[in-house]
Structure 1
């Protein structure tokens, strides 16, 4: 999201998206200071520290292991010899394939879903809500996106282009806007595409996993994008509303489940 941006960049983005959501609102009745906006501001300013440290540790450790097992030879030189524009396209495609697979896993594996449910607890979509992501969720998903890129040796410029486009698109697809990409919606993720991913409607569950390239969902058979827009978002399960509670929520739920299982086993043993 915006973990790598400074205060000045955040202010500029706010000055772009707040008026945009007022001029072209999808849900005009939604307020700028909607429910739990302050909680998402805390995510914006504090979550990035945890995510940066986690990515540095996880991706750094894995890159060291990869270089030990597979010594660097001619591949990075070949990759970096390509034009920057071609590298950027390849980086976006590879990164979003990794994103798709990790995102789908967070929906499929019950333990992982507890972390991802924090992001799906958003009930009013806007640019700020894009930052409500549990650090474990973001670290794992971004590792799946970034590790292949770094292992293949793409240039820093190509990775920077990807990062800029990813962050801009992430804000756009969460925003409370009725911006449409027209026929390009079948190729690129749009607000319509991602709002349906967050929709609290049975038909939309576990759909639209890509972060940037909607055609991945088209090819994988996980696309759901009717012409109308969803009216409700969020999860059926109750998620606590505050930042510190949401950080602890997946662990508490897992501990509670383990305690319940132990109690049931003890009861059967009597």
Structure 2
């Protein structure tokens, strides 16, 4: 028989779990004055701090080799210390004022756990570079950076002013975001293998050398153009080939556009698109600095064009892809179906006759026509195969 103190502890843990689960299932506005905003920030920072400490302990398995050589460990230690202080301070303040007690106890426990494991002072010794890994560091840095930057931009320049940060289905898109980051090592390995083994025979060293003699800025603009031409026709194929649409429809199923919406993609589409877009850059032979700059641009623009943002772009909207331009691509409106394919240069759609023509300023509704996509990350990953099996069954019958 359980003793009274132990039973009370079990009930309290259960209450913390239930309240945390309820918070993660909810959507809607975070209203100031109730301690919820500071609690969410404390929980987020506490969780990410604990994950960061684990990454310090096991860098060979939890960090990307490409990033290890780029950032300063000391700067990351300072960032981790700031995150721990903020999470601990916010959660402790809320506990003192009896606000969201169970959730703030969890946040404070995450901070204590991170500190107990070494906090920002975890020593990092020598470790092998060629071990299997997940991109935990990439997930932490990108989530912090994206939320900090794009949530601010969305609040300063919103397209839909009443849209909350935690809009419906944010949980599903966060899972897509996490999986795409955690599996970045496997994705990169697969993409590089396919590019070198399928397209390697097209490489011409003299041609590549001539391309690298082009000045940086013109070479970068040319690199973006080559990538976007590949992106345009790949994207167009996703819409016009029924088999490919089954996979791409996962991306189109989000009914609310914000910075997180672009993360919703089928994992096979992620791999296929990267192979087909990066292969021409590999064959042409753009300089390493140019390709790195392109990757930074595509990373920023891919998030921005899905964001809940509206700015007066002026004539630029006919040159580059903006949020307004790409939002039409995700619309269910009749005039928007199979339009606006470009990812960087909007003039490609005007050139190829696929730009949206509408008297309306903004779309009325987003998502796939018929709203047939199931909810949840795993169901969306399985959806294309289920759809293929269903179509095959109808053919056979």
Cα offset, 1:135, TM superposition? 1.4
Structure 1 residue 256 displacement after superposition: 1.3
> Looking at CA atoms only, which structure, 1 or 2, has the larger radius of gyration?
2
Counterparts in 2 of 1:52 and 1:233: CA distance versus 1, 3 Å: farther
Q: Which runs of 5+ in 1 are unaligned?
A: 265-270
Alpha carbons of structure 1 residues 251 and 19: separation in structure 2 relative to 1, 3 Å: same
1:180·1:192 contact (CA, 8 Å) conserved in 2?
no
Secondary structure of 2:205's partner? coil
- Tell me the residue number matched to 1:201: 333
Aligned residue in 2 for 1:140: 272
**Aligned: 1:152 with 2:277:** no
Match of 2:189 in 1: 56
Deviation (angstroms), 1:65? 4.1
CA shift for structure 1 position 94: 0.1
Q: Mean alpha-carbon deviation: is it higher for 231-240 or for 125-134?
A: 231-240
Aligned to 2:294: 162
1:228 corresponds, among 361, 378, 385, to 361
How far has the Cα of 1:31 moved from its partner? 1.2
Q: Which residue of 1 aligns with 2:218?
A: 86
Matched residue, 1:34 = 167
1:126 aligned onto 2:258? yes
> What residue number does 1:110 align with?
242
Q: Which moved more, 1:18-27 or 1:162-171?
A: 18-27
State the number of aligned residues.
260
Unaligned ranges ≥5, structure 2: 1-134
Contact 2:191 2:275 in 1 (8 A): yes
Large movers: runs of 4+ above 6 Å: none
CA distance 1:54–1:12, shift in 2 (3 Å): closer
Task: Tell which has more relative contact order, 1 or 2 (C-alpha 8 A, sep 6+).
Answer: 1
The alignment partner of 1:29 has SS state of coil
CA displacement 1:140-168 (0-9 Å, x = unmatched)? 22222110101121111101111111111
**RMSD (Å), alpha carbons:** 1.9
* Residues 80 and 19 of structure 1, relative CA distance in 2, 3 Å threshold: same
1:14 counterpart residue number: 147
Name the TM-score, length of structure 1 as normaliser: 0.90
Aligned partners of 1:99 and 1:142 also within 8 Å: no
Contact 1:197 1:208 in 2 (8 A): yes
